[in-house]
Chains A and B, each alone.
Chain A
Amino acid sequence: MTQIIKWILLVALLLPSIAQADIAIIVHNSNTTNSISKAELKNIYRVRVSHFINRTPIIISYQPAEKEISQHFFSHIVNKSLTQLNRFWATKIFSGRMERPIQFTEDALVIQWVSQNINGIGYIDESNLTNSVKKIATIQFTTENQSKTEPSIPL
């Protein structure tokens, strides 16, 4: 009996750590981009890529650092924390090399902005996806494949 209880407790402890969340990457419905890889997404948020395939300039959106979806997105895709990125973005924004990323506090606001902005890209919980925007990727996140973030980005 004691063994069974131990197993139940072990499984209960493990459950949250293998919980899965799908993150949808969204763009404007008229955007001709149909798919995007994790590497391309990383390049966009690390400001190595500034245009979509159709040559439309990209404006990044993001959600607050304390939200779980942001923690997943930045640690798993960008491999940086939002603090590190904000510092890095500052070097690009205040040198006139990057358009200011826009922060939204919830998925609905990201959807609304992306649906009205052909330059926009954002990430939301896939369960909140609507047909007013175009999904170009789904990222299945589990804590098992979470990457360790690194401290700083070269200037």
Chain B
Amino acid sequence: MLLQIHLSKIPFFLSLCMALSCQLTLANPIQIGGFFSTGVAHASRQNALLTNNLIEDKTNYLSDTVFGLQLDTRLSQRSRFSAQLQAEDRNNTFDLEAEWLFISHELSPNIELRAGRLRLPLYFISETINVDQSYDWLRPPMEVYALTGGLTNYNGVSALFKHHFNASSIEAELYKGQAKDITIILNSPLFIDTHQFYGGQLTYTADHIAARISRVHLDITATFSGNSAPLDLGEVDISVAGLHYTRNNWGGLVEYGDVKVLDKGKINAYYVTLTYNFAKVTPNITFSRSRTNTLFTITTVQGDSVSAGFRYNLTDRSSMKLEILRGRLLDGPAYTFTDPPPNFDEKVTLYSMTLNLIF
């Protein structure tokens, strides 16, 4: 295992924290919390990949390990500073990065402005995707959640509008920014530059239901390695719609994602999850599917998967999860494989267990 920390990012972060703490510790203490997940995984074939994590046909101990540290403090009654440092396994390398780091200011109880590094708020759990304790799956369904090609945050500004009714609330968010990220595709680092982009999301939540729609418009340039010429993907629109319904002990969750690459084609994907809660144990089953009609994609995902597992709440703040995932690749380099297998229609089975906690 290679522990690699992006040193260039630390001085900036630490100096900011120190500057803030010097001014704020007396009146507004910094709240420190975090999350941690680790586990084991085993794949039925070589080089199975889930997002950026390599899972091979031997027991993998680090593939689902992630550690996050969050710092929050109030600058005033209307302003807050919040940062989340995160280290996760990427092919046995742990990079410590600021997943987000922003200052927010409330114009009113209903309107909040944010500036800094922010999470891309596309999906239901986009903003807590690495906080395993916040959802029932062992991993989010990657057919849908990998549609952004690894983009999870951006540098920019956002405006959040909130309003509540008697037993429900509505939230609208508009944002603008730029993202430069690295993801691993076909065993090679892929550098992605979105240029300036904009997007928005609308979420409605009531006692038994949550609904969300979101959309982002990007202009992407991708470069596979230092020497290769940039690949201009052009304009890309990503749209997502989701619905979560809970009643008595049952829960149903569905999200649909659609990626349109201008003049080149589209990818769409969806998943359906069903859960049932027995006190501490929540079994869940998920079916996911993705399809594409374009050959010009980097994160071409065309396959199906079925996963079944359960979450067991050890305490109020910790849980254990077990999951078996059966995936089938139809075409192209899909999320479950680091390299295209010799025969399409190849299947892979992943056995995984994780331990998750928040503090």
Contacts and interface: CB of A to CB of B under 8 A. Distances in A.
Interface of A: 39, 42-43, 48-51, 55-57, 65, 82-83, 86-87, 90-91, 93-97, 99-100, 119, 150-155
A94 B68 contact: yes
A155 B208 contact: no
Given A86-B358, A96-B102, 14 more contacts: A42-B167, A87-B133, A90-B133, A91-B128, A91-B134, A94-B70, A95-B119, A95-B127, A95-B128, A119-B77, A151-B249, A154-B245, A155-B210, A155-B253
A96 B277 contact: no
Contact of A155 (B102, B125, B162, B282): B125
Interface string B295-332: 00000000000000000010011000000000000000
B317 A94 contact: no
22 contacts: A50-B109, A51-B109, A56-B77, A83-B280, A86-B316, A90-B128, A90-B134, A90-B358, A93-B33, A94-B35, A94-B70, A94-B134, A96-B82, A96-B102, A96-B104, A150-B208, A151-B249, A151-B250, A152-B246, A152-B251, A152-B282, A154-B245
B169 interface: yes
Interface of B: 31, 33, 35, 68, 70, 72, 74, 77-78, 80, 82, 84, 100, 102, 104, 106, 108-109, 114, 119, 124-125, 127-128, 131, 133-135, 162, 164, 166-169, 205-206, 208-210, 244-251, 253, 275, 277, 280, 282, 313, 316-317, 358
A51 B127 CA distance: 22
B275 A152 contact: yes
A34 to B, nearest CB: 18
Contact of B100 (A50, A96, A154): A96
Contacts of B78: 57
Contacts of B317: 86
A140 to B, nearest CB: 22
B167 to A, nearest CB: 7
Interface centre among B108, B114, B134, B167 (most CB of A within 10 A): B134
Contacts of B102: 96
Contacts of A152: 246, 251, 275, 277, 282
B108 A55 contact: yes
B217 to A, nearest CB: 22
Nearest to B203: A155
Contacts of A153: 246
A82 B128 contact: no
